[in-house]
Structure 1
């Protein structure tokens, strides 16, 4: 491409980035304004007086650290469950040969068409029956049973790893577990990070799960706690924007540090049919 074409593409990219970034910028800017300034100039991006105390007030108006602690427990447990269970299932679908493998994989992909609401009641009844209602375990345990999308993503990545590597490991005396643990997983870090990041974001933003399984306020995660905060402080926009910024910031920071590995995992997945 010549210089004019490159300049045009960069200008278009900057334009669309600015459009998609505008709500985030307005939220951050509003979180640093006083109530009077928000009413007088709600769309201004640069506050006239930076009100950093809005964040202190938002944290003090709710049990923020308790919500954050619960959220991190759920996210870390869910990421561990998803990566462990889905990588095992993906290895079986990608590297092992057994009767009915492809048919079962097709059924697994078909489950992606089912909305969460279809399995909501059976899942609630099952988890209540085993005594996990009103516990963080109700939001963590299901991730150890696998996720169709994550299994699909990891299977596609595992299939890009040459079979000769697995054959060489078998010749050296490794069994299937050793190949999975010592060969396939170390070569699949980008895909594993991608799956983990997807699950972390899903658990961080999950509202329906806590609404269904939790009734004790001491166990609420940030997503559900933020909704309760909105109900109580609906007329204080500066505090709502500060709380929303605090909720969003960790995800932005996480993606900033993991973006190279994440993009590599996405780019190298699905290269082999």
Structure 2
């Protein structure tokens, strides 16, 4: 008999299984060491390259310090006594933290914050919903005069705010809402031309086949918006909400027109701080206690910082993707 045996099915299966074994595991089983792969490094920087890097970082640090200086000055001034508020020291010579306690007895700050939060939330929510509905109609429905009507909507952005200021006041006065906060958020029920354009561009970047398939399955227009467009367009909604919240939070002009004649407790944050500046001004009989104004100004910035911190990811994503298709 021959000593050489032919490979049977069992040996063939073992050979195939061994060939399928990852090369790294086979090396570990046999005790072999594989040479480590060297990572490729980028080209070394030349002396001029190092100089460019240093200059770049110096410019970034200088610009960052330039933008952060007003906030640092405000923070330092809020801890100073009355006579040292405007001495331009970033480290207070006399540290007075009790300003943060006394400010609530000097000014109705809680009432101002509550009014501003309520108005900003209503304005941001209503304008986001109304603008998105109009934008969805312009993006996915075909009707005669659609482009002309959209051009008219965009043309309204060219009108200065001072042109419509008097007509708006007359309308709200005729309705009996002057002296209330309704004019500060009521106009957002009808959308905004800028937000309509912004969200229309975002809707156009979505695959149209999704809506065609949903329409063939019997889904109506509202279902297409709520179940398809809205979940896919959350970043654009976050952008509109943040923009309008910030705009309403900082809106001094509307509050000055519609709320100035009412009670100070009904003021918003911008109008309240402006009234506090007048209250403490020596020209109007005040004692120059501007440290309370600095504390109030610092406190009212916290809601915006928190809001942008939580919405930063969606905000950046929406900015990056909006307008990719038109």
TM-score w.r.t. the length of structure 1 is: 0.93
Say which structure is richer in helix: 1
Q: 2:237 aligns with which of 168, 172, 192?
A: 192
Q: Could you tell me how far apart the structure 1 residues matched to 2:66 and 2:180 are?
A: 40
Q: 2:85 aligns with which of 28, 38, 42?
A: 38
Q: Which has the larger displacement, 44-53 or 1-10?
A: 1-10
2:73 aligned with 1:20: no
Q: Could you tell me how far apart the structure 2 residues matched to 1:209 and 1:90 are?
A: 26
**Alpha-carbon offset, residue 74 of structure 1:** 0.5
Query: Residue 109 of structure 1 contacts residue 148 of structure 1 at CA under 8 Å; is this kept in 2?
Result: yes
Secondary structure of the equivalent of 2:90? coil
In the alignment, which residue of structure 2 is the partner of 1:61? Answer: 106
Q: Aligned residue pairs: how many?
A: 271
In the alignment, which residue of structure 2 is the partner of 1:80? Answer: 125
CA RMSD of aligned residues (A): 1.8
Q: 2:303 aligns with which of 236, 239, 250?
A: 250
Q: Could you tell me how far apart the structure 2 residues matched to 1:33 and 1:213 are?
A: 34
1:183-262 correspondence to structure 2 within 5 Å: 183-214=228-259, 215-217=261-263, 218-234=265-281, 235-262=288-315
Secondary structure of the equivalent of 2:107? coil
Query: Residue 113 of structure 2 contacts residue 300 of structure 2 at CA under 8 Å; is this kept in 1?
Result: no
**Alpha-carbon offset, residue 224 of structure 1:** 0.7
2:149 aligned with 1:104: yes
TM-score w.r.t. the length of structure 2 is: 0.78
- Which blocks of at least 5 consecutive residues in structure 2 are unaligned? 1-41, 282-287
- Which blocks of at least 5 consecutive residues in structure 1 are unaligned? none
Q: Could you tell me how far apart the structure 2 residues matched to 1:230 and 1:200 are?
A: 24
Q: Could you tell me how far apart the structure 2 residues matched to 1:165 and 1:248 are?
A: 42
Secondary structure of the equivalent of 2:311? helix
